Amino acid sequence: MLMEAPFRYECEMYPALGTALHDTVFPRGPKAKELIEPSICGVIPDVLYCRWRYSPGPKVKRPATIIDAHILSVLEQTGGCTLSDLCERLFLLEPKANESVSRLLKQGMIVARRSETYTLVKDASAKRVTLVAIEMKLFRWREALDQATSYLHFADQSFVVLDGNQVDASDKVESAFASAGVGLLLQHGTALEMRVRAKFTSPEPSPERFIAMHKATLAVDYSPEYPRHFLNALSQTC
């Protein structure tokens, strides 16, 4: 068997994989939306996959602002708040909070109740998505592990991909990944080898999670055929 040459640069790794990375992370079910190097509140995974557990929520035309994301996070955690409650919890001035609330109402992310309480609509919940973050490095596994662990603040799973021709995944290395709950994949040219499986974490609905979800939603094809194709693929996982 021919030996694959080591990669010279990290930027060469992902293009060589084609769909192998997605299919390793999601071996069954509908295709996830893929974001390359998205900025999530200053944190930038190399790849972020977002897959809805049912179907994508309300269509958005612009990314959520950090204030939008904080408001959505509070509403998800509390089940509902008044405008004054949001201002108190998030240390916001009322005009700024009202501007964000009005925008979220228009986008269909939240609804206003008779008691002047705002609640998150079911389809906009951060619990309806699975987020998987990927960090790719040639051989610096400790640095990669630290970065991948930080992604678990908003992602359900996190993986590190290392060049299998430059890294010896010893018991010590695999133990470190297993302890952190981060998956480890070794890349050999165009193929991947699973060495440590990632734990599923179900993080809290943080602002970072909503930012990531909204960025993925912006990239969704909302053509009339999309829901049917999504549900057909989803049914194959049952």
DSSP tag of 40: B
The sheet that has 183-188: what strands, in order across it?
33-36, 47-52, 129-137, 157-163, 183-188, 191-196
Query: What domains appear along the chain, each with residue ranges and CATH number?
Result: 10-52+129-196 (3.40.1350.60), 63-126 (1.10.10.10)
Res. 38: pLDDT tops 80: yes
Q: What is the mean pLDDT of residues 185-207?
A: 93
In a 13 Å sphere around the CA of 105, the CA atoms on its Cβ side amount to 13
Please give the Cα distance from 228 to 211 (Å, whole number): 26
Q: What is the mean pLDDT of residues 199-220?
A: 90
Q: What is the mean pLDDT of residues 100-112?
A: 94
Q: What is the mean pLDDT of residues 190-194?
A: 93
Residue 84: pLDDT band by 50, 70, 90 thresholds? very high
3-state secondary structure of 129: strand
Q: Residue 2: its pLDDT value, please? A: 43
Q: Residue 221: its pLDDT value, please? A: 58
Q: Residue 233: its pLDDT value, please? A: 39
Residue 3: pLDDT band by 50, 70, 90 thresholds? low
Q: What is the mean pLDDT of residues 173-197?
A: 95
> In the chain, what is the greatest distance between 2 CA atoms, to the nearest angstrom?
70
Mean pLDDT of the chain: 88
Q: Residue 232: its pLDDT value, please? A: 41
User: For 122-159, how does the pLDDT look when each residue is reduced to its tens digit (9 = 90+)?
Assistant: 889 998 899 999 999 999 999 999 999 999 999 999 99
3-state secondary structure of 118: strand
Q: Residue 29: its pLDDT value, please? A: 84
Q: Residue 6: its pLDDT value, please? A: 86
In a 13 Å sphere around the CA of 230, the CA atoms on its Cβ side amount to 17
Q: Residue 234: its pLDDT value, please? A: 37
